[in-house]
């Protein structure tokens, strides 16, 4: 496994699966959402710009995202491959990414399209909490941290993302349907797209993904 893209609506479990994949296969997990959130927290110029869009559940403009990802993928730790979570999110980004890997003589191995129906996503997102420190995902009902508000893994603060508020989630789902779901067809044409049913327990979804990735 070298270069893999995780596709799927917000709340499909991309972040949770990405963490598990990156541990098992020892591959770097790159989440554009995490990079933007870190920039927002540090108050960088990129973070300030990105926040305007993130708070509304809109996508950050393509140029900002492509430059950021292109720069990140040239770091030494990406030499042996990476798992992209949250990128590409538009056809423009996918075409940009294709040119980027082609220029380097690399190839994209697999696109995992984790599908979950909207009616399952809303309650999932309403109860979702994440760790400010390590990004671990929790749920108030199905997977609460052992101590309320404290991450089991790193002791960081467990909080609700501003963009997980119901109104914003509804907009993120619309943005996904309009701007990101055309990527499913885009990648299906390349024969690299594998559909994974994400409406199952985390471990079951992970088993399916491992079967697709091989040993």
- Interface positions with ligand AMP (CB under 6 A): 10, 32-33, 36, 53-54, 57-60, 65, 86-87, 89, 93, 163, 172
Paired with 30 in beta bridges are: 84
Min dist CB 142 to ligand AMP, Å, is 19
Written as six digits, the tokens of 36 are: 């933007």
Written as six digits, the tokens of 162 are: 């501003």
* Residues 88 and 96: beta-carbon distance below 8 Å: yes
Three-class secondary structure of residue 112 per DSSP: strand
Min dist CB 215 to ligand AMP, Å, is 28
Written as six digits, the tokens of 59 are: 């996508």
> What single DSSP character describes residue 194?
E
Tell me whether residue 14 is one of the annotated catalytic residues: yes
Q: Which of 19, 124, 128, 129 is catalytic?
A: 128
Min dist CB 136 to ligand AMP, Å, is 13
Q: Which is nearer to ligand AMP, 7 or 27 (CB)?
A: 7
Q: Which of 3, 89, 124, 129 is catalytic?
A: 89
Q: Which of 14, 37, 124, 129 is catalytic?
A: 14
Tell me whether residue 89 is one of the annotated catalytic residues: yes
Paired with 71 in beta bridges are: none
CA pair distance 189, 163, nearest whole angstrom? 32
Catalytic residue numbers?
14, 89, 128, 161, 172
């Amino acid at each position: 496994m070298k270069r893999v893209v995780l596709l799927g609506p917000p709340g499909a479990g991309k972040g949770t699966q990405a963490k598990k994949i990156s541990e098992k296969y020892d591959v770097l997990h790159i989440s554009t959402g995490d990079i933007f959130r870190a920039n927002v927290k540090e108050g960088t110029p990129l973070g300030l710009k990105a926040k305007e869009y993130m708070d509304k559940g809109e996508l950050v403009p393509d140029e900002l995202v492509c430059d950021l990802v292109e720069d990140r993928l040239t770091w030494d730790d990406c030499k042996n491959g990476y798992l992209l979570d949250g990128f590409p999110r538009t056809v423009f980004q996918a075409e940009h990414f294709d040119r980027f890997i082609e220029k380097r003589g690399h190839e994209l191995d697999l696109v995992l399209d984790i599908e979950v129906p909207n009616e399952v996503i809303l309650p999932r997102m309403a109860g979702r909490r994440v760790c400010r420190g390590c990004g671990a995902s929790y749920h108030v009902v199905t997977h609460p941290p052992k101590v309320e508000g404290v991450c089991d893994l790193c002791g960081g603060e467990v909080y609700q993302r501003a963009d997980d508020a119901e109104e914003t989630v509804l907009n993120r789902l619309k943005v996904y349907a309009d701007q990101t779901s055309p990527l499913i067809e885009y990648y299906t044409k390349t024969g690299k797209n594998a559909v994974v049913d994400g409406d199952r327990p985390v471990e079951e979804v992970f088993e399916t993904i491992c079967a697709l990735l091989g040993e």
